[in-house]
Amino acid sequence: MIKKLNSLKNPKIDNDDYSLNLLSNEKYILLLKKMITIRIAEEIISENVKNGLIKCPCHLAIGQEAIPVGMSQFLNASDRVYGNHRSHGHYISLTMDTYGLFAEILGKKTGCSKGMGGSMHIVGESYGFGGSVPIVSATIPVSVGAGLAMKLSNSKSISVSYFGDGTSEEGVLHESLNIASYYNLPVIFVCENNLFSSHMHISERQKFDSIARFADSHGIDYAVIDGNNIETVLDTSKKAIEVARDIRKPFFIEAVTYRWKGHVGHDDNIDVGLQRKEDLAPWKEKKDPIARLKNSLIAKNALDEDSFAILNEEIYEKLNKEFAQAIADPYPDKEQLLDTVYYR
């Protein structure tokens, strides 16, 4: 049983292999585009939280883009994905609907939740995104319930549940792991271990820092990986999906990563402790998932710096136009206030 993350949590140690062998160069460039889209979308959100235009709390996952993008690559349209309070990347990786996300965060009726949910209540049912909520761990039993429904209906679909390392301190995760294990449910548990729960480092909360030990205790197969290496995420997610879809058993992925922003909002939170103050810069320099993929593609002569710059500029221009449009969109009418609260 893995109890310690060791080099995975140390941004100054990098022993990973960055060879790209699972997909074509064209598909890797599409994944790079997705990751850049998530990064720029959250940078736009961050800036507009800072200037006061966005009023709702926003939990950003800048630096974690490889996990949702890699996980989404091999999913089917009938699969169901459930997020948490930090789910912009989960939503975008499935939908590429940055406009709907912007409008939602601004509280506009054109938003993906009709302007009623804000940053932490986003949904995209037609894309397979079952939703996100701010209550830590609250969607995990929902994803397990979806897995149970899939099993009872003899469906080949699977359920995916995203959560952070702080969720391992909630009882419902352990109850959900037990049920998924006992009934052999097709659920993939994805722990994005960014080493912080709110403002507290995992070393100040738990004796051991690998969350996968809880999966092992429930007899669930698991993998502990570098969540900032897109190739590793792709390879692991492919295997996990095969286990869930073909063998009809749960699988647990612990993807070690690091969020560049603080717990909530635009601030970096480097004042919350010595650990974050020392780690943030090397995580950005050594383990940026976008830079890693870009450099690997350049090494394969599948990309160059000029093309990368153009790609960034095109995405930045597109997303800024979408944000401007979302600003101009109308707010929901007050008569619509209860439309998405109660089924009639």
The 3-class SS string of 318-340 reads HHHHHHHHHHHCCCCCHHHCCCC
Q: Is the pLDDT of residue 209 over 50?
A: yes
Share of the chain above pLDDT 70, in %: 95
Q: Is the pLDDT of residue 309 over 50?
A: yes
pLDDT of residue 227: 95
Indicate the range of 123-127, 163-167, 198-202, 301-305 predicted with least confidence.
Answer: 198-202
Q: Specify the residue for token string 């290496």.
A: 229
- pLDDT confidence band for 139 (50 / 70 / 90): very high
- CA dist 72 and 66 (Å) reads 10
Q: State the average pLDDT over residues 73-96.
A: 96
Q: State the average pLDDT over residues 155-181.
A: 95
Q: Where are the alpha helices (DSSP H) in the chain?
A: 25-50, 66-72, 88-95, 98-105, 140-152, 171-182, 212-217, 230-242, 274-286, 289-299, 305-328
292: nearest Cα among 217, 229, 206, 209: 229
Q: Is the pLDDT of residue 140 over 70?
A: yes
- CA dist 103 and 322 (Å) reads 9
- CA dist 237 and 66 (Å) reads 12
| Strand-pair category, 200-201 with 196-197 | antiparallel
Q: State the average pLDDT over residues 6-28.
A: 85
Q: Is the pLDDT of residue 50 over 50?
A: yes
- CA dist 200 and 273 (Å) reads 8
- pLDDT confidence band for 344 (50 / 70 / 90): very low
Q: State the average pLDDT over residues 133-152.
A: 94
pLDDT of residue 249: 97
Which residue segments constitute the domains of the chain, with CATH numbers given? 26-215+229-327 (3.40.50.970)
Mean pLDDT, the chain, whole residue set: 92
The pTM (predicted TM-score) of the whole model is 0.93
| Strand-pair category, 187-193 with 251-256 | parallel
Select the more confidently predicted residue: 231 or 343: 231
Answer for the pair 290, 33: CB distance below 8 angstroms, yes or no: no
Q: At what angle do helices 305-328 and 98-105 cross, to 10 degrees?
A: 40
pLDDT of residue 6: 77
Contacts of 73 (CB under 8 A, 6+ apart): 23, 31, 234, 237, 238
